[in-house]
Structure 1
Amino acid sequence: MVRAVVFDVGETLIDETRIWSRWADRLGVTRLTMLGLIGACAALGRPVTDALQTARPGIDLAAEEAAWAADDPDGLRSGFDADDLYPDVVPALTALRASGLRLVVAGNQPAAALAALRAMDLPVDEIRNSAELGVEKPEPAFFAAAAGLAGVPVGEIAYVGDRTDNDVLPAADAGMVPVLLRRGPWGFLHAQRPEAARAHVVDSLLELPDLLRGL
């Protein structure tokens, strides 16, 4: 019986299209090029920062972020806000919480993302990220920390994410119920991998209430 659900952030709750489009504008490449590079990183199993390095070889990301902040101090830049939530997020969270499930948001995100998520007033019980927890997925310690936030036995927790490597397989290894969301470049590609058979695959968060009731 599932009594708690932990959610990844990027391409699970947050549509990252605007983020990468702003990066394209910043680096002087077309948005199609940037999105294509992101897809290539997903297909090749390379870190997403490689897309930025490819668009501008030798880029110092920390220095570029600092310069961007100086140029556009009030803009979102590489951040996000409530307008970037996928349309199914709030209805799904509301339905899950109404069914009595404890809900946690926990993903690999920088410190600034924590404030952005909390400002959305989502119907969840806990919001944490890797910057605050001091450990990143796919490390087992991350999932142990997420289980602690959920406050129920690990076998009664579902972890929902868009990647097999960072999200659902490490969650399954930790004893959680793995749910792979088939959206975003990683979600569509990883759903085709043989190891995705270890997870429950959904195309929308709105499928979760029925799925979890049936487990």
Structure 2
Amino acid sequence: MNKIKWIFFDIGSTLVDESAVYENRIKEITQGNNIDRNEFVAKVIERAQTSPKPIVSAAEDYGVKVPAWRHDLEVLYPDTKELLQRLSQKYKIGIIANQDFGTEQRLTDFNVYQYINLVIASAEEGVAKPDLRIFQIALDRANCKPEEAVMVGDRIDNDIIPANKIGMKTVWIRQGFGALSEPQMIDEAPGFIIDKLTDIYKLIGV
């Protein structure tokens, strides 16, 4: 990690806790369609092993509508703000995330945008992870070589595999539904595995 200049983060289930959004969606889907909650949750957990959108995937099996995403239910993980503040004193901080329009404003509302140097979000860029192009866009705008960057994310499929392919160092944070996915092949393996944001300090010596 000695040559690292940029640390890129995913947002959902990495910097932002989406648990309340998931719970709301599950409640509305099951109660609104008379679906057994335990049965539906079991299917969601199963789909989380292979799909970045497990609730959507499970809902498709029942042919039911998925409620709109509730950004108002999102909250920062407790360590997010201090982490970004500390890291920004030594590194450039970037975002590579599949998000709808307004990512910069949401980060501003969370009072963390001031620590972030670059935001690359799928809605604005017209390309989404795991497409390598969104990672290349981020590296190009950061004027950063892949080996000088770290990608921190919760999904093996969306974050770790493409970042590995492009040559970035990778950190898999086992939070949210992404913790249920596991690398299946050697080229899917993250460089490092952590279970909470503050574990990053041990990796980069901040």
TM-score tier, shorter chain, comes to 0.7 to 0.9
| Structure 1 runs of 4+ with >6 Å offset | none
| Structural mapping, 1:13-32, within 5 Å | 13-27=15-29, 28=31
- Paired residue for 1:146? 138
Q: Does 1:91 align with 2:93?
A: no
Q: Does 1:40 align with 2:46?
A: yes
- Paired residue for 1:73? none
Change in CA separation of 1:88 and 1:157 when aligned onto 2, cut-off 3 Å = same
| Alpha-carbon distance, 1:82 to partner | 8.2
- Paired residue for 1:172? 164
| Alpha-carbon distance, 1:15 to partner | 1.5
Kept after mapping to 1: 8 A contact 2:169/2:191: yes
| Alpha-carbon distance, 1:111 to partner | 1.5
| Alpha-carbon distance, 1:212 to partner | 2.3
Q: Which amino acid aligns with 2:202?
A: D
CA distance in 2, matches of 1:172, 1:204: 21
Deviations 1:70-111 (A, max 9, x none): xxxxxxxx232586111121121111112x200012211112
Q: Does 1:102 align with 2:95?
A: no
- Paired residue for 1:10? 12
- Paired residue for 2:70? 79
SS at match of 2:134: helix
CA distance in 2, matches of 1:161, 1:136: 14
| Unaligned residue ranges in structure 2 (runs of 5+) | none
Kept after mapping to 2: 8 A contact 1:118/1:127: no
CA distance in 2, matches of 1:97, 1:199: 22
Query: What is the TM-score when the length of structure 1 is the normalising length?
Result: 0.79
CA distance in 2, matches of 1:128, 1:42: 24
Q: Which amino acid aligns with 1:52?
A: A
CA distance in 2, matches of 1:46, 1:124: 25
Structure 1 window deviating more from structure 2 (35-44 vs 83-92): it is 35-44
- Paired residue for 1:161? 153
Change in CA separation of 1:154 and 1:82 when aligned onto 2, cut-off 3 Å = farther
CA distance in 2, matches of 1:30, 1:23: 14
| Alpha-carbon distance, 1:30 to partner | 6.8
Change in CA separation of 1:31 and 1:206 when aligned onto 2, cut-off 3 Å = farther
| Alpha-carbon distance, 1:35 to partner | 4.3
The CA RMSD measured in Å over matched residues stands at 2.6
The percent identity for this pair of structures is 25
| Structural mapping, 1:108-123, within 5 Å | 108-122=98-112, 123=115
Change in CA separation of 1:7 and 1:58 when aligned onto 2, cut-off 3 Å = same
SS at match of 1:111: coil
Alignment partner for residue 204 of structure 2, among 204, 208, 212?
A: 212
Kept after mapping to 2: 8 A contact 1:117/1:127: no
CA distance in 2, matches of 1:211, 1:185: 23
Q: Which amino acid aligns with 1:104?
A: G
Change in CA separation of 1:53 and 1:5 when aligned onto 2, cut-off 3 Å = same
